[in-house]
Every structure is written in C-alpha cells, then in structure tokens.
Amino acid sequence: MFAHIAYSVQHHHKRAVVVATDTDVIMMCIYYIAHMDGLEELWVKKMDIYLPAHAITDALAVKYGDPGESLDVKEDVVTAARQYMVSLYERSDFSGNLDALRAHRFGNIKGDMRYLPPTEDAF
C-alpha cells in the first residue's frame, strides 16, 4: 500500500486515505508520512473514524523528535501510546490495560475480530 502512495506522490498527489482494520497499519502510516516528501496529508480510516496520521506525526515530532531519530523510547511515550490506543476503542474512562480492554471488547463484538484493540505485547 505504501508503494501505491509513493507512486501517487510522484504524480503530484498530496493527500491519501488508507482504510485499515489493523492498528499496525495505523502505526506504519504515522511513521511513513514523515518519509514521503510531497505527501501533505495521510488519513487512516478505521471503522467510522478518520485519523489524521500527518497531524499525529507532527504532534509527536514536536514533543519527542522526528520518527526514526532514535530507538530509545521513553516509558512515558509508550504509556501515552497505550492510552491513545485505549481511547480509540473505548469512549468512556477505561482504567485497565490493553489486554483488559481486549477481553472487554471481545464480549461485545459479536464475532467481528476487526474491532479488537492490540494486545499489550504490541508495545
């Protein structure tokens, strides 16, 4: 999918939308938007939500530096990413971790695994 986006950017397209059912794709979009010169906006559609990967990357770069700059990830960054993932899936104040949220959501999805959040091991 990123090859298609890169090809489109070479042909002067400045905006792209990726439809994703996997949170790994969202994270890849947040990373790759910084490495595609000419791509101004990259939106990720997850369920019925459009996430601005370009804005997320810009906000993270201001606070933590550009993507790929360092592999030394501080615990507060990981904690913030976990909280952000929880907020994508649970609208109320959920106090558990991603595994607890996954178990909670599993009981409510009626078999559609695409609506499950990532596990704690993803972080």
Could you tell me if 50 and 88 lie in one domain?
Answer: no
Q: Which of 67, 84, 102 is the last residue of a domain?
A: 67
Tally Cβ neighbours within 10 Å of residue 33. Answer: 24
Could you tell me if 3 and 62 lie in one domain?
Answer: yes
Task: Compute the half-sphere exposure of residue 110: CA atoms within 13 Å on the CB side of its CA.
Answer: 0
Whole-model pTM? 0.54
The end-to-end CA distance of the chain, in Å, is 23
Could you tell me if 39 and 81 lie in one domain?
Answer: no
How many whole angstroms from its chain centre is CA 22? 9
pLDDT value, residue 98? 76
pLDDT value, residue 75? 75
Asked if the model's pLDDT at residue 76 lies above 70, the reply is yes
Phi (first) and psi of residue 48, to 5 degrees: -110, 20
The domain total for the chain is 2
18: domain range? 1-67
Higher pLDDT, 99 or 113: 99
Q: How confident is the model at residue 26 (pLDDT cuts 50, 70, 90)?
A: confident
- The mean of the pLDDT values for the chain is 79
Could you tell me if 1 and 55 lie in one domain?
Answer: yes
pLDDT value, residue 16? 95
Q: Which of 67, 92, 114 is the last residue of a domain?
A: 67
